[in-house]
Amino acid sequence: MIFVTSATGGVSYVSPEWCTFTGQAASDAVEHGWFERVHPDDRETAVTFLRSARDQQSEYSLRLRLRRADGSYAWVLIGAIPSYGPPDHTFLGYLGSLTEISTSGSEPLTAYGTLARFVPPPMNATTPPGSTLELVADHLLMAHGLIEQDHAHEMLPVLQQA
């Protein structure tokens, strides 16, 4: 499952796999609606942690329980990296993924997160320094790939209302 957030931390896109896994419509997951699917005991940890990650614009990993479409809970690992764009390397939000994890171990799991300092990779050697057009093109190509692959056009009405 993949997701995209805005610079303020609100979810702007979830993949169709999110909808299948959680039973939540994509339009209901936007902004902070996805928290409805987080286990009540994990919500405060998640909110506090994600606020800190956003404030630091740091990549992160977060483990928590997510309610499935059938009402049961599954442990998931959420990982996200910040996205930057022009002008001036502006923080755009996060691109992330969620993966269900096994709970077969003998120790009980708890919700937790880890922050790490993220340093964006250097630009391609063939890209002239400060090429805003190249940065925009890279983001557009990535977005187009996500839209085509994950049927993101279904989110257009939600984005247009935002």
DSSP summary character for residue 33: G
Domain containing 81: what range?
2-161
CA pair distance 100, 64, nearest whole angstrom: 10
Tally of domains in the chain: 1
pLDDT by position in tens, the chain (length 162): 889 999 999 999 999 999 999 999 999 999 999 999 999 999 999 999 999 999 999 888 888 999 999 999 999 988 888 888 877 888 999 998 888 887 665 566 766 566 664 334 445 555 555 555 555 555 555 555 555 555 555 555 655 565
pLDDT score at 118 = 38
The closest alpha carbon to 99, from 78, 115, 69, belongs to 78
Structure tokens at 12: 């702007």
DSSP string covering 77-115: EEEEEEEEETTTTEEEEEEEEEEE----SSSPP--EEEE
Amino acid at 20: T
CA pair distance 76, 97, nearest whole angstrom: 10
Which CATH number do you get for residue 47?
3.30.450.20
pTM of the complete model beyond 0.95: no
CA pair distance 68, 9, nearest whole angstrom: 23
DSSP summary character for residue 128: P
Q: How far is CA 110 from CA 45, 55, 62, 136, in A?
A: 10, 23, 11, 40
CA pair distance 65, 67, nearest whole angstrom: 7
DSSP string covering 36-53: GGB-HHHHHHHHHHHHHH
